[in-house]
Amino acid sequence: MPYKEEYLDESVIRNPEISELVLEVSEKVLEEEIPPRMIIYASDGVNESHVDEDRVYFSTRDFEKLDRTAGLGLVAHEIAHVCLKHGINKEPKMADEKEADSLATRWGFKEEIEKLRKEFPLK
């Protein structure tokens, strides 16, 4: 996806650390893979990063625990979830987690996903 500000909520624009990671991931994603109404948020108020329909919520607390490589893996993983329309599933499924990791790996974030899984193993 070519980087588009319309995908970013103010909360991400105000968070240079997260917006920089989103920019890097966005360069690898094709425009047609992205739901047209995707919006990305960053919040101190959510316990963990997640997706809800076409919205991605990044918890700033997650990024305090991760180095840049694993953080990039997390951003790619969550964006992969919306591209795969997992945000409409209300029950978290292990298969969805693996599928999101596979798509992020296909975008070129293999090392980043491996590092992420050392910090945040799939359970």
Q: Which residues bind Zn ion (CB under 5 A)?
A: 97
* Greatest distance between any 2 Cα atoms in the chain: 34
Distances, alpha carbon 113 to alpha carbons 6, 32, 91, 103, in Å: 26, 23, 22, 10
Nearer to Zn ion, 8 or 82 (CB): 82
Q: Can you tell me the distance from the alpha carbon of 37 to that of 35, in angstroms, rounded to the nearest whole number? A: 5
Query: Of all residues in this chain, which one has the CB nearest to Zn ion in the complex?
Result: 97
R_g over Cα of the chain? 13
Nearer to Zn ion, 53 or 97 (CB): 97
Beta carbon of residue 30, minimum distance to Zn ion (angstroms, whole number)? 20
Q: Which of 22, 82, 27, 17 is nearest to 56 (CA)?
A: 82
Nearer to Zn ion, 14 or 65 (CB): 65
Beta carbon of residue 68, minimum distance to Zn ion (angstroms, whole number)? 19
Beta carbon of residue 122, minimum distance to Zn ion (angstroms, whole number)? 8
β-bridge partners, 52: 55
Nearer to Zn ion, 54 or 97 (CB): 97
Beta carbon of residue 49, minimum distance to Zn ion (angstroms, whole number)? 8
